[in-house]
Structures are given as structure tokens and as C-alpha cells.
Structure 1
Amino acid sequence: METRTLILSKTLSCLFCVFYFVASVSATLSFNFYAASCPTAEFLIRNTVTSSSSNDPSIPGKLLRLVFHDCFVEGCDASLMLQGNNTEQTDPGNRSVGGYSVIESAKRVLELFCPGTVSCADIIALAARDAVEIAGGPVIPIPTGRRDGMVSVASNVRPNIVDTSFTMDEMVKIFSAKGLSLLDLVVLSGAHTVGAAHCNTFRDRFQQDSMGKLIDKTIDSSYANELMKQCPSGDMASVTVNIDPETSMVFDNQYYKNLLVHKGLFQSDSVLLNDDSTRKFVEDFANDQELFFESWGQSFMKLTSVGVKTGDEGEIRRICAATNA
């Protein structure tokens, strides 16, 4: 009870911080930004995400990963959507990112109804928001008014994204640089409650020593054995497994329950339970889905406000894969 009270207190205080944070980003980033210029914008984006998810249940997880990888490099400006030599998409850390076609589909529809009005950056943020709701998560209002960036360089990717093998200190350093707190780190890691991962991104988790014992003692042995069965040694780059082995298509708090029984797929997941500074957050979110959902809304709002371009910055692209120039 004491821990829950502490988190609730932090959550409520963070709520004020979130709205202050968003307001301080720019006066032009606001709720209902398209109310006059394109009143059906959010409806059209939601329809596209819903339709795409119906055809491919993996879409919500892909869109969540897409928004993370976009916002952490150059800010939430759709720089990840730009195609070409040496762009962010060409970095090995982004080659398995998906969901681009959903964003482009929504953009094509919006260009028919409201040409030159809705940015690809806003589409990414809104599509990820809708993906969470479609997968069973909370309904989240987020401000809009982002503009699209014009710079996308592969060398900017690695210094700014979290690798699955990162330690707590390494993750905190990157999150802090984006204006995101330790609590945001734990909450946003909950995105791993949906989606899949390639075997080569976590192969170290089930390696054995010469005696046949797991080298990584922080992962449940039966879970490691199951991963070994799912990941053929010669084909790890193409085979995927569900990040959440229990409810992989549902946005819920199962991710945190998995951590408590040492079934976090990545090292970057397991450290949340093993570190004294984050263990209590994990335990409370595992025991209270409503608390996780409330916290998710606040942290997601902060995530999608990182480094936004507004006003006269950037542009509104005609297509998301290329700048207008």
C-alpha cells in the first residue's frame, strides 16, 4: 500500500509536469490542432490503423516501435520515414522496424481530404496512440501540430536508441537526454506487452556454458528452454518470437507480471526488476493495470512531445518517404 501511494503521488505530480512540459514545447502544439483545417484527421488515421490491424494483428506492436525509433532520433518529426542512402532506415537498428505502410496509407487518405495539412509526424504519433487502444489499452488524448523534419542520417541512430542489451545506466542516460524520467523508462518499457522480436536480438539470453547451464542467471530456465526451441541456431535473423509469451496481441500489464517471474525477453527488460531503483514500479504495475494505464497516458504524451518541430520549423510533407524539396 505504501508503495502504491508513493507511485500514485508521483503519478499525480507528474501529471502537472506533463501538461507543463507539453505547453512549454511550443504554443502551437495543442489538442484539436486540426479542428478547423482538417476536422476528420484523427478519425481517418484511426480508421486506417483499425483496418490495417484487422488484416495484420502485428501492426500495433510495429507502430509502437516505429514511434519510439522516430522520436528518439531528431525528435518526433517523421525523420525515420525518409528513404534514401544513409538515412535512418538504413541503420541496422532500424532495418526490422515496420508499420511504414500504415503511415503512408493514412497520409494518402489525408492528402485527398486535406492536402498539405497533416504532418507525417502527427500521423505517426496518432497511429501509435490508436494502436494501443485497438490492442486493448487506454484511450489517450495527445496534442498535435508537429511538423516534419528534413534531416535523416544513419549515424544519428545508434547514439540515440536503446539497445536490448543495455544496462540500467545506459538506458537512463538516453531517456534522461530526451527529458524522460526513470518512471517514464519503466512505463514506456511496457510497450513490450505487444509485438515480436527477432531471435538474434536476444540470443545471449539462452546461451549455455560447458556444463549446460545458463550463462544468464536472470532469466527463468524453462522460459530459456522454450526460447531455444523457438529459435533455430542457424536462422536467428529471420525467426521471431512474441515479446510477451502470455498475451502477445493485447496491451495490458502482463509484461510486468512476466518480469516478476523472470520472463523478460531482453536484458533491458530484466534489469527493471533487478535494479533497486525500478523494482517497486514493476511490482506495482504488475499488480494494478489501471495504474499502469494512467501512467502510460502521461509518459506516452511526453514521449510524443520529444524534440517536436512546430510553427515555421520543418515542413508538411506531401509524401512521408521524401521531403518536398
Structure 2
Amino acid sequence: MASLRYLLAAALVVAFVLEGSPSQAQLSPSFYSSTCPNVLNIIEDVLKKAFSSDIRIGASLIRLHFHDCFVDSGGPSWAVPLGRRDSRTANRALANQKLPGPSDTLDVLKSSFRNVGCNDNFDLVALSGAHTFGRAQCRFFRGRLYDFNNTGKPDPTLDRTLLKQLRELCPQGGNGGVLANFDVKTPDVFDNKYFSNLRLRKGLLQSDQELFSTPGADTAAIVEDFGRNQNAFFKNFVTSMIRMGNLKPLQEIKGRLD
């Protein structure tokens, strides 16, 4: 099951944050083989149980990977170098780093990715594809529904039918914590429907739709490709997750809390 394999990969973020491995000079895919040789089986069992009780756990774990300052990720789907220590200090780093926001324009999104060492086209589009499952609160996209860019009108790139549905879910002055599906087609499956949605102007966040609807955007062709070819999306997602996980890794004492 492809979607479960990707969830298992994301789950290793949590495991390696908590795991107290010995100091090593180099990162390695077998870093934990001696200290916890059954780590993948343990994580798979825990994740299956968590997934059965909370359908959103996969999306939450991938989000954790992204927001914890690009820390460890791995799993049975691909081999990655392990042994980073900066996951213990990631929250402090977040205070000094501008993360991409739900209302960012494509230029801002591209700049955010370049600033951390990821590329601003394939990495940006592939990693945004994690929004193929999960939820977002109304407060993160309500501006698109009623007052886009202070125009007093909705975002013109948002499908009219979806606009009506989202306004019913998120009325002006309503509860900003109400959740909406990122993917209107298969909200709980890791697939390529996110990209098909963008082609139909059904991206939930402005930052999602910007990838396809920004005039002249080089990301639009990538969205088209991933929307037609799910294997291409999966392949590039793996590559981009590994690249993100390898950004400026801290090892040994450098990654420990004082």
C-alpha cells in the first residue's frame, strides 16, 4: 500500500527525535542498526495503530518533518542517511526561520525554498503534494473566500462551486478552527489527486493554487506532469524528502541541547 509506506517514512521523524543514539562521525542509513535493529518494525506497528484511530496522523507527521527544520526522515520506501541531532534543537531554530505560509505568493514560496537550500521548482511542487491528504483550519484560507488581497472579493483562481462549499463551512466571523480537506477528491489517501485539483482550480490554500495559476509559472508544467503521472510524483516526492532531510545536518554534540 503506497500511502502507508509514505506514512511510515514520515513516522521515523518522531522515532529519531526521541531515540538516544550514540555519537557518530557520519550519517548512515544503518545508523540505528545496532542500537535499535527493529526500529522500522516497531514504528510500523505503532503507526498502524495510530492510523486506525486518527486518519490524519500521516499528514501530521509529514508536517512535523517539514516544520521541524528539515530533520530526519526515512522508512521502508527508501534509504536515507540517519544520525542527525538537530531535531532536538529544531524548535529553537524555527523562531529564526521564515517558513512558507498559506497565503504566500509563488515568488515568496520560491524564495523560502531557495533560502534553505531546496530548489524552487521540483522540490517546491513535490513537497507541496503532501497536501494530498490532511486538513487545514478555516483561518488559514478564509481570506480567499471573502476579501482576497483586500479587494472585497473572492480569489478569482478559486473554483466557484468549491467557493460556495467553503463559504458554507467557513462563514465570515465563524469558528476559525473548523477543518476543511486539502484534497476534495481523496482526502485521506496519499496519491496525486492534489495536482488534479489544482488544474481544476480546487486548491484549498492560496499557496497551493499559486503553483498552477500564477501566470508564466514554471511550476505549472510540473503540476500537469504529476497530475497525469502518479509514479512521477512519488519518485520526486522521495527525492525531495531526502534532499530536505539532508539540509545542514548537525551531528554529535553540535546538535545537542546545552
Q: State the TM-score, normalized to the length of structure 2.
A: 0.81
**Cα separation, 1, equivalents of 2:244 and 2:27:** 14
Does the CA contact (< 8 Å) of 2:170 and 2:176 recur in 1?
no
Matches within 5 A, 1:66-105: 66-71=64-69, 75-76=70-71
**Cα separation, 2, equivalents of 1:291 and 1:154:** 32
The more displaced of 258-267 and 305-314 is 305-314
- The share of aligned pairs that are identical, in percent, is 35
Does the CA contact (< 8 Å) of 1:28 and 1:311 recur in 2?
no
Does the CA contact (< 8 Å) of 1:193 and 1:255 recur in 2?
yes
Matched, 1:279 2:217: no
Does the CA contact (< 8 Å) of 2:100 and 2:109 recur in 1?
yes
Does the CA contact (< 8 Å) of 2:199 and 2:224 recur in 1?
yes
Question: Match of 1:294, SS?
Answer: helix
Q: Which residue in the other structure is 1:186 paired with?
A: 125
Structure 1 stretches of 4+ with a deviation exceeding 6 A read: none
Matched, 1:176 2:174: no
Q: Which residue in the other structure is 1:144 paired with?
A: 82
Does the CA contact (< 8 Å) of 2:181 and 2:187 recur in 1?
yes
Does the CA contact (< 8 Å) of 2:162 and 2:202 recur in 1?
yes
Question: Match of 2:237, SS?
Answer: helix
Does the CA contact (< 8 Å) of 1:199 and 1:236 recur in 2?
yes
For 1:174-195, what per-residue CA distance to the aligned partner results, in whole angstroms no more than 9, with x for missing partners? 1011111121001100000010
**Cα separation, 2, equivalents of 1:208 and 1:166:** 15
Does the CA contact (< 8 Å) of 2:68 and 2:91 recur in 1?
no
Q: Which residue in the other structure is 2:208 paired with?
A: 269
User: 1:233 Cα deviation (Å)?
Assistant: 3.0
- 2:50 aligned to which of 49, 52, 66: 52
- What do you get for the CA RMSD once the two structures are aligned? 2.3
Matched, 1:245 2:199: no
- Indicate how the Cα distance of structure 1 residues 310 and 57 shifts in structure 2: closer, same or farther if over 3 A, else same: same
User: 1:291 Cα deviation (Å)?
Assistant: 0.6
**Paired letter, 1:270:** Q
**Paired letter, 1:285:** F
**Paired letter, 2:51:** S
For 1:245-271, what per-residue CA distance to the aligned partner results, in whole angstroms no more than 9, with x for missing partners? 110100000000000000011111111
Question: Match of 2:194, SS?
Answer: helix
**Cα separation, 2, equivalents of 1:151 and 1:164:** 21
The number of aligned residues is 228
Question: Match of 1:312, SS?
Answer: helix
User: 1:231 Cα deviation (Å)?
Assistant: 1.5
Q: State the TM-score, normalized to the length of structure 1.
A: 0.65
